[in-house]
Amino acid sequence: MKPQAAPRRALQHPACYPEGNSPWSVRLQSSRFLIAVFEFVLLLFSLSVHECAHAWMASRLGDHTARLQGRVTLNPMYHIDPIGTLLFPALMIFGPFIGLGLFGGMLVGWAKPTPIISRNFRKIVRDENLVTLAGPASNLLLVLVAFLVLAVVSIAVPDGRQLVLATFGGGLGLGAPSGLQAVVLLCTLAILINLSLFFFNLLPIPPLDGSHILRNMLPYNAVQVYDRIPIWVSYMVMIFLGGAVLSMLLHPAMRLIYAGLISI
């Protein structure tokens, strides 16, 4: 799910050009499209890491079902869900470029579920929870890696701190060296996307990871009711309420990370 990205700095059109036809306008549009491509690639990679973490943890705890199906891999071909990994995220990211503004809000994405056979675990409830939490934990790990890269750039590169803060705050850093700018932009988007996946997957809405944790905490009768929730209800809740809840969690987390970058 794609949170509302930090505002990207708009460029003023010189008076000698008609609105939207200046070279600066073209450059801004191409920059936004490049960011959209980065978002899509990073989402695909992050979802693959997430599902690989589920499969790896299940294998470590005694259930090799996912490993035998080749799911302990970062190759996205083994994790792609045609709708959740490709179609829906593509509409959310690229929709505004073709006039589908409705899809330009939060980026929602999911991969093919990792197959688990619970009876292969020694302690079913504990091990199920560990396998479930491995996915969101992997997204937090990617956030940490991206943050450390930004910290290194801030400390070791001349004017790196200015570039990092400007990019993280919504600027495109058009005057920076293209290679360094791309690295900073990728890390910034990686933090945004993986924090989104972390919070989104912990929502207690079937079939998200948080629903498995909640299910293991419910009494037997409540579990029977919980398991009967239609999947279309879950999707409606995710679409109409998930974005608002995610924003409430994501914005403070992004401000905290920005404060950490400032203090470096």
Q: Angle of helix 124-156 relative to helix 23-60, nearest 10 degrees?
A: 140
Q: Is 201 exposed, middle or buried (0-12, 13-18, 19+ CB in 10 A)?
A: buried
The CA distance from 130 to 55, in Å, is: 11
Lookup: tokens for 113: 């579920």
Lookup: tokens for 245: 């809840």
Q: Say what the alpha-carbon torsion angle 60, 117, 111, 3 is, to the nearest 10 degrees.
A: -80
In three-state secondary structure terms, 138 is helix
| Residue (of 155, 156, 166) closest to 188 by Cα position | 166
Handedness of CA 237, 35, 154, 263 (dihedral sign): negative
Which residues, in sequence order, are CB contacts of 73 under 8 Å at separation 6+?
A: 48, 52
Indicate the DSSP class of residue 4.
Answer: P
Cβ 46 vs Cβ 139: under 8 Å:
yes
The CA distance from 99 to 261, in Å, is: 35
Active site positions, annotated: 51
Lookup: tokens for 125: 């409830």
| Residue (of 108, 38, 57, 47) closest to 78 by Cα position | 47
